[in-house]
Amino acid sequence: MDIFTEISLVIVIATIISVLMRILKQPMLIGYILTGVIVGPAVFGVMQSDESFEVFSQFGIALLLFIVGLNLSPKVIREVGKVAVITGLGQVVFTSIIGYLISTLLGFDKVSSFYIAVALTFSSTIIILKLLSDKGDLDTLYGKISVGFLIVQDVLATIFLVIVSASALGNSFVDISIQLIWKSLLVGALLYVVIKFILPKLSAFFASSQEFLFLFSMGWGLGVASLFHILGLSVEIGALVAGVTLSLFPYHYEISSKMKPLRDFFLILFFVLLGSRLMLSNIYAVIIPAIIFSTYVLIGNPLIVMTLMGMLGFNKKTSFKSGLNVAQISEFSLILIALGYKLGHFDETVVSLITVVGLITIAGSSYMIMYSNKLYSLFSKYLSVFERKVKNKTSSQEEVFDSILFGYNRIGYDFLGVFRKIGAKYLVVDYDPSVINELESSGIECEYGDASDNEFLDGLSLKNVKMAISTIPDYDVTISLLDKIRSVNEFAIIMVLSHSIDDTYKFYEHGASYVVMPHFLGGAYASELVQKHKFDVQKFDLERENHMKNLSKRRALGHEHPKIEKNG
């Protein structure tokens, strides 16, 4: 069978399986992996051209991480850098130590236990990013933190794989470290020169044609990824760096939208390939330890992340949803085990074990992440142990405020300006510790808290507030907040945010005074400008100047206009 017919047949089967997944309301990713099992050697053996599928998969991975990098502006990196490094490193250390102890208790030798422990530490960046993207949660706080610590894990996994591969050739640890350092410095210096002196001058030229912008984006993303590969570094990290370097490019949103259809096609082939490579030999011999390790990954890894994030001051909801994103093993884990087996460090029993763990945890975590809101509602009352109680620096919970703003973000920034103008006494509530620190340093009255936490809301003077405004896009949180305020305050003005007409109707039914729908408000405001100014060029020039001044202020604050794709 030629490669064209083979890929076409695989896509047809993937489509049929995906239709079934859609009807059953199951994650599409599970359908792709199941397709791989069906077309792989374990069932029908349709897929024969592994090398071709491997190449296509690399394109999908590179494009996915390139697009993620496009949305990782320096502000986002500064915002979650600390928690990402601490959580990423901490989770790897604790997971590997506990995993090693479990392995030795199950009777595995020291070398096998070491490989198993390391394999259990790394989570799949590809799978998590796909699921977060499908849910529209990449721009949320927990989404940003998850991307951050997954990148930290990928860097550690890359270093580990390089060390294992090089040590097999007889290279010392010092030699390996020196090579990694000088190669990284070389790439960093080269990219700095290009970003600083070349790209800014060519940006308008690149954007002059839609086709040229697409071609440039492909060339830059894949070119930088290939440069990393040639130097013996990670293709994945190279693609991510390529995206980050263009994150300040004026047209990065447009580049991202053009790349996504191509990314989705190649990623389907990646997950199909992953499913086809699941080795299920000796499954009966490893099923008991596979269940034990899978349980550890599905439950233990999230608990470790929740503990670390709770110690850093994050609330239980953010910690819980972030923790679910480490509840599976990575493609790096499978590569590591394959490499160890090839080097003769252990027998195929370990390969079969990690393969089964991969299948169980990838499927299990996909459901956990897709239904994270329902799981949180189910377990929230038991999760307070992972939440450090932050002692408020003010006595604001005992005070009465004219207005309370839930969620300080791009929209919340505008409301604060209005509160100051009308002389209102106001309080800002946010669940991001870094935002609270920023507000406190600016002298703004604020409280660290979760709008979905009834116990926290009970401490606020909601019965006396004249106006409550929520910029939180989460449907369940908004409904809960509306019900809570209306239960104690019949006359307060309550404004909430919505991106859905159906949700807006529900919010009005639950007592909202006004629902802000940014897209519709933008169109309504623009049409009012036309009605107001008609064909007066000078008045539109004045509107333009005022708008640009406002945008300059927002850019200085690090604000970006969100690209809403899909709500989870």
Which parts of the chain sit beneath pLDDT 70? 71-79, 161-162, 165-174, 176, 203-204, 207, 250, 253, 277-282, 388-398, 410, 554-568
Give me 491's structure tokens: 């006359």
Q: In this structure, is the dihedral angle defined by the CA atoms of residues 548, 550, 553 and 559, taken in order, positive or negative?
A: negative
Confidence (pLDDT) at 71: 66
Cα-trace Rg, the chain: 26
Instruction: Specify the residue for token string 């207005």.
Output: 403
Provide CB contacts within 8 A for 24, sequence distance 6+.
none
Amino acid at 202: L
Confidence (pLDDT) at 565: 43
* H helix or E strand, kind and range, residue 426: strand 426-430
Confidence (pLDDT) at 307: 93
The rounded Cα 456 to chain-centroid distance in angstroms is 27
DSSP secondary structure, 160-184, as one string: HHHHHHHHHTT--HHHHHHHHHHHH
Confidence (pLDDT) at 567: 37
Confidence (pLDDT) at 468: 92
Q: pLDDT tens across 107-117, in order? A: 999 999 999 99
Q: Could you state, in order of their start, the residue ranges of all structural domains in the chain?
A: 3-386, 396-516
Q: pLDDT tens across 230-278, in order? A: 887 777 778 878 887 887 776 776 787 778 788 888 888 887 887 786 6
How far is residue 315 from each of residues 83, 233, 332, 382, 504, measured CA to CA in Å? Answer: 13, 36, 30, 13, 27
Are 114 and 100 in contact by the 8 Å Cβ rule? The answer is yes
Give me 236's structure tokens: 């994945």
Burial class for 62, CB neighbours closer than 10 Å (0-12, 13-18, 19+) = buried
CA distance 297 to 356: 12
CA distance 520 to 63: 32
Confidence (pLDDT) at 193: 83
Torsion of CA 105, 110, 112, 118, to 10 degrees: 90
CATH architecture of 396-516: 3-Layer(aba) Sandwich (3.40)
Task: List the helix and strand counts (H, then E) for the chain.
Answer: 25, 6
Fold of the CATH domain 3-386:
Na+/H+ antiporter like fold (1.20.1530)
Which of these, 268, 218, 271, 254, lies nearest to 66 by C-alpha position?
Answer: 218
Q: In this structure, is the dihedral angle defined by the CA atoms of residues 174, 179, 184 and 190, taken in order, positive or negative?
A: positive
